[in-house]
Structure 1
Amino acid sequence: MSAPSSPSRLGPSAVGPLSELLASCFHQDALTRWMIPDDRRRAELLPGFFRVFVELSAAHEGVLTAGDGEAVLLFLPAGAVVDEEALDGALSAALGGYAEAMRAIASLQAQGHPAGRPHYYVSFGAVRPGRQKGGLMSALLERMLRRADAEGVGTYVEASSPGGEAASRRVGFERLGPDLVLPGDGPVLRPMWRDPR
């Protein structure tokens, strides 16, 4: 198993492949299917959608990779300031008519997000099929958590799948508050928190 890369080593040439990896891994995720119901359109739009988040996390040294790019973890460290207007514009450009669904997700996430508690925020993590269940994601999470622990701050994630929840629990996350349920019997996001150690 390759060691996770340093977040500062993400070069521009890595942004596209990591965006494609995330798009591929999340193509059948309940959250992206709710956001973009049509399979073909989802396949077309997800790489651009994830590129926004890869670039956002990279700007805050919040990208870790392992397995020669076969696994990726995106996060924002405590104190990261996000230009919400610019982010909304980038997501609107990437998603077109599906941007309103993304705004509904973001609004729901804002309701459950822990306020007034400095923390790292994990946005997305993915491992290429065939490399899953080999410890790559746990290694990435543990590396990020060492940073959070060294700074004495907690870490927050919203798990959108049983696999994501299981990976989070393995490294010490616990449920935080009620599930976030999207409209129309939509998918569930499970808020989870880990105190610093």
Structure 2
Amino acid sequence: MTGEDLTSRRTWTRAAGDGWSPGLRQRTAPVALPPATHTSTPSRGGPTTAKENEVGYRIRAARWTERADAAEVIAEALHPSPLAEWLVPDDARRARVLAAVAAIWVEHAMFYGEVHLVDDWSAASVCLRRYGPLPPPADYAARLAEAAGPHTDRFAAVHDLLAAAQPDEAHHHLAYLAVRPPFQGTGRGQALMAQVHSRIDHLTMPCWTVTLAAGQRLLTRNGYQPANAITPADGLTLHQMHRPAHRDTTTTGAWPVRAPTADHQPGRAVERP
């Protein structure tokens, strides 16, 4: 899938399933991971307010009608990774399958977490609020089989490994941090991560994620610490990363909101009146 495909915001349809309905654990987790390989400039902002940073793009909460757009961003970012190649060896079908599976989790996060987009559809983040056990996505086994078709067993295997590895403590799960390849290195990934942290630090919550090796540098720079690795297959390693709870000292009882005025520098949090 090319950048031009996503600029036109084309909506992929789900891959035709083959009737598989594997048994899945009730402790659910997305199987695609943040390919955080870029460097970027931080930005902070409020829970639903659009946030415009110093280079002109905005970060905002995704609308319900944009869940397919967010899934396509994730699919394109993940497409060239070794994880995606293992999950869907068929290159011709990979983008469609990745987008269809990601769409399940984007929709789920709109009920049990949050989804944010850069407003030019160049990057997206997906978080799940795991304050306690979460139900699986609606009709998850059937939908995964429909989306992944003959590749369902590999998605289910990674799903089970991630579900078993999830921390027991209440935490935010950074399920996806995705930047389309043409926009990597432009600050979008770091800006999205700073936005996520501005919210969870207000709640003094830890954050957990899983990444490929290429994403460890960005996560480490943002306070994440390595945990046990996960190996779904020979030559494929996924790295757990955990960020301890940080206390947000920039606000006093109010969500931080953007105020890019002469009195407040971009990237600073201010209190809501």
C-alpha distance 89-186 of structure 1, shift in aligned 2 (>3 A):
farther
Q: In structure 2, what is the equivalent of residue 92 of structure 1?
A: 145
Deviation at 1:85, TM superposition (A): 6.7
Contact conserved, 1:138 with 1:170, CA < 8 A, in 2? no
Deviation at 1:11, TM superposition (A): 2.0
Q: Give the superposed CA RMSD.
A: 1.8
Contact conserved, 1:78 with 1:153, CA < 8 A, in 2? no
Q: In structure 2, what is the equivalent of residue 101 of structure 1?
A: 154
- Number of aligned positions between the proteins: 190
Structure 1 ranges of 4+ moved more than 3 A: none
Task: Look up the equivalent residue of 1:107 and give its one-letter code.
Answer: D
Contact conserved, 2:122 with 2:179, CA < 8 A, in 1? yes
Aligned partner (choices 180, 188, 191) of residue 230 of structure 2 = 180
Q: Deviations over 1:9-52 (max 9, x none)?
A: x2233122222221112112111211111111213322211111
Query: Which consecutive unaligned segments of at least 5 residues does structure 1 have?
Result: none
Q: Which has the higher contact order (CA 8 A, sep 6+)?
A: 2
Deviation at 1:128, TM superposition (A): 1.8
Distance 2:83 2:75 in 1: 12
Larger Rg belongs to = 2
Deviation at 1:110, TM superposition (A): 2.4
Secondary structure of the corresponding residue to residue 124 of structure 1: strand
Distance 1:99 1:135 in 2: 34
Percent identity between the aligned chains? 23
User: Is 1:139 matched up with 2:196?
Assistant: no
Secondary structure of the corresponding residue to residue 175 of structure 1: strand
Q: Deviations over 1:159-195 (max 9, x none)?
A: 1241x2222122111102x210113x14111000001
Map 1:1-197 → 2, pairs under 5 A: 1=55, 2-5=57-60, 7=61, 10-79=62-131, 81-83=134-136, 86-115=139-168, 117-162=169-214, 164-176=215-227, 178-183=228-233, 185-197=234-246
Higher helix share: 1
Contact conserved, 1:72 with 1:126, CA < 8 A, in 2? yes
Contact conserved, 2:104 with 2:137, CA < 8 A, in 1? no
Distance 1:128 1:67 in 2: 13
Instruction: Give the TM-score normalised by the residue count of structure 2.
Output: 0.65
Q: Deviations over 1:104-138 (max 9, x none)?
A: 101111232212x1100011121122221122111
